[in-house]
Structure 1
Amino acid sequence: MSPQLTVILCTHNPRPDYLQRVLAALQGQTLALSQWELVVIDNASTAPLAPRLDLSWHPQGRVVPEPHLGLTRARQRGFREAQAEILVYVDDDNLLAADYLEQVQQAFSQHPQLGVAAGKALPEFEAAPPAWLPEFYSMLALRDFGDTTTLIPGCSPCQHYPDQAPAGAGMALRRAAFADYWASLGDDAARLALGRTGQNLVSGEDNDIVLTLLNRGWDGAYLPQLQLIHLIAARRLQPDYLARLNFAASQSWVQVLDLHGIRLWPAIAPWTVRLRQAKAWLRLRPWQSAAAYVRWRGICGILAGQARLSSSHTNRPCRWRGIPKDENRRVHSRSNAPS
């Protein structure tokens, strides 16, 4: 019998203890093993994963190597390998709740036009987080929008990015919808570069997926019954890491919105970037606290993104209240940040 759902676990040089916990959570799913398959995409890991992973517990579990480094490449390979009509992408630090796959199957069967969905991603910190960290939760792909389901209707063209749009952690997709995304991607170098690659912290592919599917008429959803634990390693709590992440995420946020005709900030001349960064430095006073420094690096990322915009673009009205026009206000990417 063909599986109804495929879990695609993309990983590159994973932490063994985290990966084992991810697999244990999958092994504990309430959905019968006969109804889903497991495809682990080994994305150019230094030491091949296949000899080190025991997937004997799953009759439809296998490791597939993908030698080209990058999340986009890994996801493409997973899409090609999957046999089911519903796909669930799981990161190598995501612990799915026991009924996650069963809830996904039920939601997609009840809503034929649902193309993409995700739910709550709650943190488990390896080390005690600083008190100011909640300000940057969205940057770490931590999200909890409450217990009310939110349906996001398809829109063409989309004038804004939905507040509760699905993130990449535990993202569930209908195969036909995701096929639309890959078909639209083609050889577009700018969009292909939105996914993270190795230690490159650029993130924007998830936003691109959501906007593409909504623009093509598919619905999205925030489903609170879909819950996972996001394991946050101690290194990801360091201010320097968070600052680099905020810069990369903010820059790609400006870029991906612009690729879809949504411009919340004007184009600026590249030569003005340093001056603007200096002005933001004086206003935000990043030398006073780690949080202020991380905040400032996010503004620097926005400015870097603005410097890459074409001045010929016709601005659309800013309708998303979650992103202020003032470049000196705090802005975080809504995308799934890299591990």
Structure 2
Amino acid sequence: MAIGVTIVICTYNGASLLPETLAHIAQQRVLPHIPWEVIVVDNASTDNTLEVVETEWAKTGSTATFSLLHQPRPGLTYARELALEKARYPFIVFCDDDNWLAPDYVNLAHEIMQRHPSIGVLGGHGELEYETPPPAWVAALPLFANGRQAKSSGKVYRNTVYGAGCVIRKPAYGAVCRMGFEPMLTDRMGTNLSSGGDYEFCYALALTGYDIWYDDRLRFKHFMPKERMEWKYYERFFKERAKCFEVLVPYQFVINAGIESVSSFYLRLLRLFLSSIKQLYPLILNKFRLPAGSDAAKVNALKIKSVKARLWSFSRHRAMRENFARILQFKHEKLITLTRCETTFVPERKARIKMQ
């Protein structure tokens, strides 16, 4: 395999976002000795994404090898898997359809991954770019992929970086697949705001001995359309984000805390639950102290929703324990398949796990 870089864009109904994203990719100043390509994966879009991609890429005049793939199975994880399978080069940049990569992104990704063969996933530094000036309460809650991911460039000891702009080592992905790994999270599906697939992949590579890194030189803009600055969007975000906790919390216990016994698992879970209760109490008090309708009151209300969603996830403690057992078995044997599951909300804020 030639030592080059593949840029992957996975998109669902991204017709309005892709022109700017593709234009920034075409502006990459790639050194002559670095082979590179661009792959766009249409993940079951229902708009004119395909036509926009073909038209806008042709406009750029870029000489980079370009491929347009179709993944009819909804789910960001499935789209990424298809791209990983088809990518020609070992260093794969996952560029979201709302990410604008800096012109030196490919060169830096190639340099860092070449210099440090222990890196499984490399994260960059995103900066939010708003379509319209955000309300003060939105600016106070920068929840999306943005900002520094560590105090300094190097290994990230919490073992995760956000998926936007991240660079994955394809041979590392192949290695964990041969060990029997299959993700338990499907990540975003259509308009659903569930997440966590990027973190799970980082954890899987960390389990098999790869390092998770951050480099502050890898810069990109994360475009925020005005629809993401609406109150209803944030309410959905907090509610649907909680779906991934029953998978990610057990990973955190095993990898970051070194927990391996069921008793230690439940003790740690209890501590996490009590910590969440402790965070909720002053927020509820603030609810009655802050002026109704003020930006501070809105920020406080969204923080309450976030903590409540996390508390709700503790009702899934049996699923957490089962996932904990799967992760431990993979850690020690690296031969079993971590069964993919999809967590979906049903009425009365309950959830179920669909095992395949």
The answer to whether TM tops 0.5 is yes
Amino acid at match of 1:19: L
- Whether the 8 Å CA contact 2:21–2:99 is kept in 1: the answer is yes
**Residues 215 and 134 (structure 1), Cα distance of their counterparts in 2 relative to 1, 3 Å cut:** farther
Query: In percent, how many aligned pairs have the same letter?
Result: 23
Query: Deviations 1:14-55 (Å, cap 9, x if unpaired)?
Result: 142x21111011001011587101110011111453333233
Q: What amino acid does structure 2 have at the position aligned with 1:172? A: V
Task: Note if 1:75 corresponds to 2:54.
Answer: no
- Secondary structure, in 3 states, of the residue corresponding to 2:240? helix
- Could you tell me the TM-score, scaled by structure 1's length? 0.77
Q: Deviation of residue 279 (structure 1)? A: 7.8
1:266 aligned onto 2:265: no
> 1:294 and 2:289 equivalent?
no
Q: 1:280 to 1:24 in 2, by over 3 A?
A: same
2:28 aligned with 1:29, yes or no? yes
Secondary structure, in 3 states, of the residue corresponding to 1:230?
Answer: strand
Output the CA distance in 1 between the equivalents of 2:156 and 2:36.
Answer: 26
- The aligned runs of 1:1-339 (5 Å cut-off) are 2=2, 4-16=4-16, 18-32=17-31, 35-47=35-47, 49-52=49-52, 53-54=54-55, 55-56=57-58, 57-137=62-142, 139-145=143-149, 148-152=152-156, 161-162=158-159, 165-183=160-178, 186=181, 191-193=184-186, 195-259=187-251, 261-262=253-254, 265-266=269-270, 282-283=284-285, 285=287, 289-310=297-318, 313=321
Q: Give the drift of 1:228.
A: 0.2
Q: In 2 relative to 1, CA 214–32 (structure 1 residues): closer, same or farther, beyond 3 Å? A: same
1:82–1:216 CA distance, 2 compared to 1 (3 A):
same
Q: Name the CA distance, whole Å, in 2 between partners of 1:118 and 1:186.
A: 22
Distance in 2 (CA, whole Å) between partners of 1:65 and 1:213 is: 26
Match for 1:179: what amino acid? G
Distance 2:154 2:38 in 1: 28
Q: 1:311 to 1:124 in 2, by over 3 A?
A: closer
Shift of 1:258: 1.7
CA distance in 2: counterparts of 1:228 and 1:69, whole angstroms: 26
Distance apart, 1:69 and its partner CA: 1.1
Q: 1:145 to 1:174 in 2, by over 3 A?
A: closer
Query: 2:6 is paired with a residue of what secondary structure?
Result: strand
Across the two proteins, how many residue pairs are aligned to each other? 296
Uncovered stretches (5+) of structure 2, i.e. residues with no partner: 255-264, 325-356
Task: Return closer, same or farther for 1:178/1:69 CA change in 2, 3 Å cut-off.
Answer: same
> Whole-Å Cα distance in 2 between the matches of residues 220 and 146 of structure 1?
11
1:192 partner letter:
L
After superposition, the CA RMSD in angstroms is 3.3
Higher alpha-carbon Rg: 2
TM-score of the superposition, structure 2-length normalised? 0.73
Measured against aligned partners, the alpha-carbon deviations of 1:69-125 in whole angstroms (never above 9, x if no partner) come to 110110011111101111111100000000001000000111111111111100110
CA deviation after TM superposition for structure 1 residue 150, in Å: 2.5
Q: Distance in 2 between matches of 1:268 and 1:167?
A: 22
Ranked by relative contact order (alpha carbons within 8 Å, sequence separation 6 or more), the top structure is 1
Q: What secondary structure is seen at the aligned counterpart in 1 of 2:200?
A: helix
Question: What 5-or-longer segments of structure 1 have no aligned partner?
Answer: 154-160, 270-274, 316-339
1:5/1:84 contact within 8 Å kept: yes
- SS at 1:144's partner residue? coil
- Per the alignment, in what secondary structure is the counterpart of residue 92 of structure 1? coil
Q: Normalized per residue, which structure has more helix?
A: 2
Q: What's the offset of the Cα at 1:243?
A: 2.1
Cα distance in 2, alignment partners of residues 42 and 282 from structure 1: 43
Deviation sequence 1:254-297 (CA, Å, 0-9, x none): 5312245456543999xxxxx99x98984452876221221121
CA distance in 1, matches of 2:140, 2:154: 23
